[in-house]
Structure 1
């Protein structure tokens, strides 16, 4: 429809168009003016409406503060009930953070009302004015007022304003139509005659009857007619002149066109066939024309190049420089030797060098691809950077071996500056330590392969010899002739020293400087191969220092280390230089005796080592005595395998320790069998702990004066699935050796406490149960004392119902942690008994230092007790000593009435043994009670 109206309007004569233009201008002006006034009025009305109602809402909110604070629902409902009668009100709601106090929504519009944000108080919609007001009291939010008002009144007011504007518009359109009709009559009709006459004359081939009668008026229209007639007369004159000039011009144009066409063909041929890049662009950056070389260089078609500005092809890092070059080109109108990078079709970048001129606001540019040159320059620059900054020395010589160039690292390593070596032979660095054969082989390999690499000793300018790792490469010309040699070297003197030191540290003990375990294994392997090849006897001695831990604990690790150094020296003095003495770790040493002719030589060396180590060690004012236990395994009589040889010697060493230490023992097959049995028992022992195969037996302890049972000793037994009951003497040492005694000790204590709890509940007994504690439990890091005391407290058993039995070794070897645990038992009323008293290194000072309650006389003294035996005197002395110190005495192993009577006569307090009862199970002991 709009298109048809435009076509109709275009075809109308100008007199009608003028009517439409006048009417349109007048009408548009009036409509715009009144529309703006109506808009201003509407905005003002809306603002007045919002301000009035928001003021009213805030006044309502102020009246609501106190009822909200005191939650006066009646006052709120009365107040808002009056407000709801207002016809403008469509929705009203008053809430507090806790509840809704009032809600008025007769038309159920709440769901359709929009939500207001936290910073938005009101919103003017199509049908409602919606607002919310936060009500505060002392800066605290006490409630929220939300409401919606009808917009009918505001809409009616705006409708009246619109009707008034439309009436004024109608009157304006009628006036504009009258004005347009007057213009048509007095102006447009004469102009129309002039237009029709001009059109008729323009349609004629020759100019005839060009003049037009003018209106008989003296106004602008009449003068326009006179000017028109004058123009027509001059047109007739010029027409003849133009025809003649046109003929001459056509002849000249034809000639010039022919010449330009020839020149254009010449330029196009050069433009299209040039090896350089030519293009024409505008200042907007678009290609207008490019020669085919662009396609060959960048890989884009004409369409791809002209579709986007050339900045799209420039490397991102070159964008700013290119923009600056464009600005310079605008000012100077030429630019030369500018370089940037352009993206190839395969996303790589090429270096392009430009020269440009500006003519007629177009840029005529010639460019060329200089990527190969840039890469070559970059390669040379990098090579020079590497040459100058390399930490390795570099030297370049010619075919005659004269130095051409050296880098700074060369001077730093050799001490010679560049000026001192240019033109000289590199042999000036020679140390003279290499044989002539070395250099002959080096040149032979270099000439045959073009490459040589190796280590060489050279001399610094200051005369110091250093070791360098040198690489030499030949450089050839196109005919294969050597023109240069390049040497690359680094000083590896410190590296060689470090490697030697690392090797020494990896293979030698840092304390004694003897071969360590790693080098020992290598030496042992070599000696076995040698012995096998030459068929001779070889012996391995495995040596362990006796009671070395006591030295460390008593004198400290510093004295212990000094003792190890001295012991290593003494062992080394007892063997030949061809033998190997090693320290495996701790206080363990090995000696490899090679090429043994007679087995008696092994005995002699072992005795010499034992005697040397038994001699006193002097440290400051202290004299320290230790001994050693040595195990010996022989190759090939005992084994031909190195691992077995070490293992057999170790087993023999343990056999020597079990014999009383300070001696040596040769390996025997029975030791291997015993070791296998121990490992098998260890495996079964682990399973026994998991399967709870242990049981606790109880042996009564009798009061010798009254015959009553006051005590019992808890004794663990192993209920082996196939072997039956296993004595603790068979498995406790293995458990102690492999760290299982802690777990077993915990289990025994818990079993005793749980059983005693049952007995106490049934019989209300005041019985005391003795629990044996291994010395290793006192030496361990676990704090079992607190756990035991807590377990007793949880079970409701008094600590003095449990007696802790320890051996004398615990007191003699007590360190700080062991002493803390003993004192912790005493401080919590748990009594302590010394088991097997008299069989060890008894010390009366320890009996007074620690809070001891009982001494248990070992059964070895009781077994042979008769009125005439020396044991009678010894036991009597122990009883008198204990009583003088306030201790009670328990005799173990009482089996006869004579033993009992003699103990009673000497005043012994308690006794236990088979005379009274063997160890009983818990059920049997319950019956015994």
Structure 2
């Protein structure tokens, strides 16, 4: 007989195996445990455990279930890879994957059970740690409002496709996103895109998508793994900051910074096209009485109403801005003559004629306006504003609630 096939060889193989080989009698008492397996699994000598009830080592919460499985095996059923937990000699627990088959006597009657057990404690810990990591990642993705997606290079299939493949993406953004996608795929490089989306409610939302390539051993693209994020709130904040940088926070009109930019652009266009433009400075008459009578809150309400009335007098190409306090500036593009300016100035005076009502009080507020024209009165923005300011103060000297044109040498008519 081959030495490796002899009973002694099998016995040595079992006795020295780190896995547990075991047998139970009909009463559930240990009848056999291999020495090395018993020491490794239970931290005890096999001889000490022989004759002891198997249920002594089963974790209490699993005792009823394990007893039911043992009864199934005694009824002639074989059970494989069932997981359980046993208590070691030091009080700690070990997770086991067990196989059990009926043990039959000489007459074929089931007289017990026999099988093997494998320590899967480390596997269970690793699985639990992996589950925890996956759960943390899921919560992080959820907290960051991220949408996970994958693209398979072989099939071209998208799993949970990003919104840039959706018809709701703005047409102006869609082609740009798709072009960036094609280039990233062709080069096997990361992909990034920001884009706008039309919602069913007719609103605009902003999204950001980023994907990284997964390459095979030969450097060929296998898939793209990415996330998409709703960045609408961030965009709204950026737009608000941008708006406040160039607009008056009280009235919403352009501020001095935006006025300077608009005036420079208008001057450039007028010079290139050989056209005229006008700058009007407007200072409210009687506004101080509102602040003195009802306080700054009422004064703010009047300023907002003045801004609205001024804006209603302007063409789309014109600019009305708040200089500060109760002073406003207006840029009239493409004017033919002083006559065009008079039409606008008289329209403004009529718009301000109607009383302003604040907290039950009525106030009559007028305006003194100064007007300077390009290129007749000045050739740059600073000079235009300065000359319009001189004309405005001349209007105040002449009795207020009227307008004056700058005529040179500091005079105004």
Question: With structure 2 as the length reference, what TM-score do the two structures score?
Answer: 0.58
**441, 451, 461: which one aligns with 2:179:** 441
Query: In the alignment, what sits opposite 2:287?
Result: 548
**398, 402, 406: which one aligns with 2:152:** 398
| Distance change in 2, residues 1:459/1:382 (3 Å) | farther
Query: In the alignment, what sits opposite 1:536?
Result: 275
> What is the Cα deviation at residue 494 of structure 1?
1.2
Higher helix proportion, which one?
1
> 2:282 and 2:201 mapped to 1: Cα distance?
52
> 2:148 and 2:184 mapped to 1: Cα distance?
17
Query: In the alignment, what sits opposite 1:432?
Result: 167
Query: In the alignment, what sits opposite 2:383?
Result: 644
> 1:614 and 1:464 mapped to 2: Cα distance?
39
1:878-889 alignment, distance < 5 Å: none
Structure 1's unaligned 5+ residue stretches are 1-330, 333-379, 404-422, 673-929
> 2:137 and 2:383 mapped to 1: Cα distance?
59
- Give the SS at the match of 2:371: strand
Query: In the alignment, what sits opposite 1:450?
Result: 188
> 2:306 and 2:280 mapped to 1: Cα distance?
15
Structure 2's unaligned 5+ residue stretches are 1-42, 45-129
- Give deviations 1:685-725, integer Å, cap 9, x for gaps: xxxxxxxxxxxxxxxxxxxxxxxxxxxxxxxxxxxxxxxxx
1:691-702 alignment, distance < 5 Å: none
> What is the Cα deviation at residue 396 of structure 1?
4.0
Query: In the alignment, what sits opposite 2:320?
Result: 581
> 2:179 and 2:393 mapped to 1: Cα distance?
59
| Distance change in 2, residues 1:664/1:494 (3 Å) | same
> 1:651 and 1:462 mapped to 2: Cα distance?
52
Judge conservation of contact 1:430–1:457 (CA < 8 Å) in 2: no
> 1:664 and 1:651 mapped to 2: Cα distance?
11
> What is the Cα deviation at residue 538 of structure 1?
0.3
- Give the SS at the match of 1:513: coil
> 2:135 and 2:338 mapped to 1: Cα distance?
71
| Distance change in 2, residues 1:618/1:511 (3 Å) | same
1:510-909 alignment, distance < 5 Å: 510-619=249-358, 621-671=360-410
Judge conservation of contact 2:283–2:369 (CA < 8 Å) in 1: yes
- Give deviations 1:552-575, integer Å, cap 9, x for gaps: 102322332232233223323333
> What is the Cα deviation at residue 595 of structure 1?
0.6
> What is the Cα deviation at residue 454 of structure 1?
0.9
| Distance change in 2, residues 1:518/1:385 (3 Å) | farther
List, as ranges, runs of 4+ consecutive aligned residues in structure 1 with deviation greater than 4 Å: 380-388, 427-430, 457-466
1:160-199 alignment, distance < 5 Å: none
Judge conservation of contact 2:298–2:359 (CA < 8 Å) in 1: no
> 1:522 and 1:621 mapped to 2: Cα distance?
39
> 1:465 and 1:566 mapped to 2: Cα distance?
29
> 2:407 and 2:381 mapped to 1: Cα distance?
17
> 2:231 and 2:290 mapped to 1: Cα distance?
45
Judge conservation of contact 1:429–1:459 (CA < 8 Å) in 2: no
> What is the Cα deviation at residue 527 of structure 1?
1.1
Judge conservation of contact 2:149–2:160 (CA < 8 Å) in 1: no
> 1:506 and 1:530 mapped to 2: Cα distance?
24
How many residue pairs were aligned?
Answer: 276
Judge conservation of contact 1:431–1:459 (CA < 8 Å) in 2: no
| Distance change in 2, residues 1:487/1:590 (3 Å) | same
Supply the RMSD in Å over aligned alpha carbons.
3.6
Which has more radius of gyration? 1
Judge conservation of contact 2:208–2:230 (CA < 8 Å) in 1: yes
| Distance change in 2, residues 1:461/1:514 (3 Å) | closer
| Distance change in 2, residues 1:511/1:425 (3 Å) | closer
- Give deviations 1:811-860, integer Å, cap 9, x for gaps: xxxxxxxxxxxxxxxxxxxxxxxxxxxxxxxxxxxxxxxxxxxxxxxxxx
- Give the SS at the match of 2:367: strand
Judge conservation of contact 1:401–1:425 (CA < 8 Å) in 2: no
Higher strand proportion, which one?
2
Judge conservation of contact 2:371–2:405 (CA < 8 Å) in 1: yes
Query: In the alignment, what sits opposite 1:470?
Result: 209
> 1:600 and 1:465 mapped to 2: Cα distance?
43
> 2:336 and 2:206 mapped to 1: Cα distance?
45
Judge conservation of contact 2:177–2:193 (CA < 8 Å) in 1: no
> 1:449 and 1:467 mapped to 2: Cα distance?
27
Judge conservation of contact 1:429–1:460 (CA < 8 Å) in 2: no
> What is the Cα deviation at residue 456 of structure 1?
3.5
The answer on 1:486 being equivalent to 2:240 is: no
> 1:457 and 1:541 mapped to 2: Cα distance?
39
Query: In the alignment, what sits opposite 1:505?
Result: 244
Judge conservation of contact 2:149–2:159 (CA < 8 Å) in 1: no
